[in-house]
A = this chain, B = another copy of it.
């Protein structure tokens, strides 16, 4: 099993940590946020802009890329990196979450997940082996095991069966991954178990026994109350092997990133900064602003006066509001660029706080700034 993760600093409690994860296309610093590039593009941005905003690693969606453009197209470019002109690391999800949330007529069996494409209704079967093959053909730096996601709320019996299937699939994933790559690219297992502490423990222990490069907490941010999400993360994260990277999937708000980093998470992805940007919401240290608000109509200030991103260096709130109200394509781009920059730099501030032994102070300051308001 490759062991490319080094913890370089930790808080007094040892829970919050900073580290380095060395991947095929380069090293990334943790804690880290990964912008979502669903279809081989972070919506509206060029790869250069994503890198300039500070991104070190992107997330690609296996389900989406498998359906469109299809693996045979991306294989023509020896993987997703050259196809999309991004030479830094990429993590790909397993496809499990989209089958659960997007696809039609999903049927889960021991073999895999049968589903219908949300695009054209065509029928497909995603097995653990197939998920590995797709992710390997994308040349993903971090490959995720196929897991079975369950909705919230769920019965304990359903949660247990899903985690047991996820564990058996994880074994098959690891076998295929070893055979096909010799363990070159990283492989992460995904802990399931719903909101049940005992099940989360069983899942974590079973996966640790199989052994993975890193571990993800799946099945969060599926509609449960925020307090419950924090609670599950709080007890699940310490169940994962301490010396491996810990990844909370699909989360979340800036506050979530702070709270979950505090609880020991190292990696995050979420569509929130990109999707909300396209809906006119801009994140700042002092809270989020809705650029459609009429009070910005003639406002010559940048979106966030403290921000040094391209958008804030060059454009006023009045211009951003005008672009947004006119549904101009540049609106989505300037907003997205700012939000990605905000998320990435929030993580950077947390890394630096851990490294200088003042994470608790950072966390208090983060909430004090938010209270100030914008």
The answer to whether the Cβ of A117 comes within 8 Å of any Cβ in the partner chain is no
Q: How many of A's residues come within 8 Å of B, CB to CB?
A: 34
| Residues A298 and B43 in contact, CB atoms below 8 Å apart | no
Say which residue of B73, B328, B332 sits within 8 Å of A297 (CB atoms).
B73
The answer to whether the Cβ of A175 comes within 8 Å of any Cβ in the partner chain is no
Say which residue of B43, B45, B318 sits within 8 Å of A73 (CB atoms).
B318
**What's the Cα separation between A300 and B77 when bound, in Å?**
8
**What's the Cα separation between A322 and B65 when bound, in Å?**
10
The answer to whether the Cβ of A293 comes within 8 Å of any Cβ in the partner chain is no
Question: Hey, what's the 0/1 contact readout for A279-300 against B, CB within 8 Å counting as 1?
Answer: 0000000000000000001101
Say which residue of B45, B316, B318 sits within 8 Å of A330 (CB atoms).
B45
The answer to whether the Cβ of A367 comes within 8 Å of any Cβ in the partner chain is no
The answer to whether the Cβ of A14 comes within 8 Å of any Cβ in the partner chain is no
Task: Mark out the residues of chain A between 65 and 95 whose CB falls within 8 Å of any chain B CB in the assembled complex.
Answer: 68-69, 72-73, 76-77, 83-85
**What's the Cα separation between A333 and B85 when bound, in Å?**
15
- Write out the residue numbers on chain B whose beta carbons fall within 8 Å of the beta carbon of A322: 39-40, 68-69, 73, 83
Question: Hey, what's the 0/1 contact readout for A36-54 against B, CB within 8 Å counting as 1?
Answer: 0001110111100000000
Closest to A315 in B: B85
**What's the Cα separation between A321 and B315 when bound, in Å?**
31
| Residues A333 and B328 in contact, CB atoms below 8 Å apart | no
- Write out the residue numbers on chain B whose beta carbons fall within 8 Å of the beta carbon of A83: 316, 318-319, 322
- Write out the residue numbers on chain B whose beta carbons fall within 8 Å of the beta carbon of A68: 322, 325-326
The answer to whether the Cβ of A108 comes within 8 Å of any Cβ in the partner chain is no
Closest to A326 in B: B39
Say which residue of B72, B85, B329 sits within 8 Å of A329 (CB atoms).
B329
Say which residue of B40, B69, B76, B314 sits within 8 Å of A300 (CB atoms).
B76
The answer to whether the Cβ of A323 comes within 8 Å of any Cβ in the partner chain is yes
Instruction: Looking at the assembled complex, report how far the CB atom of A77 sits from the nearest CB atom of chain B, in whole angstroms.
Output: 7
**What's the Cα separation between A325 and B40 when bound, in Å?**
13
- Write out the residue numbers on chain B whose beta carbons fall within 8 Å of the beta carbon of A41: 323, 328-330
- Write out the residue numbers on chain B whose beta carbons fall within 8 Å of the beta carbon of A332: 329
Say which residue of B77, B325, B333 sits within 8 Å of A333 (CB atoms).
B333
| Residues A333 and B326 in contact, CB atoms below 8 Å apart | no
A-B contact pairs, 18 of them (CB 8 A): A39-B326, A40-B322, A41-B328, A41-B330, A43-B330, A44-B329, A44-B330, A44-B333, A46-B330, A46-B333, A68-B322, A73-B298, A73-B322, A83-B319, A83-B322, A85-B314, A85-B319, A333-B333
7 closest A-B pairs by CB: A44-B329, A69-B322, A41-B330, A76-B298, A85-B314, A39-B326, A41-B328
Residue numbers of A with Cβ under 8 A of B are 39-41, 43-46, 68-69, 72-73, 76-77, 83-85, 297-298, 300, 314-316, 318-319, 321-323, 325-326, 328-330, 332-333
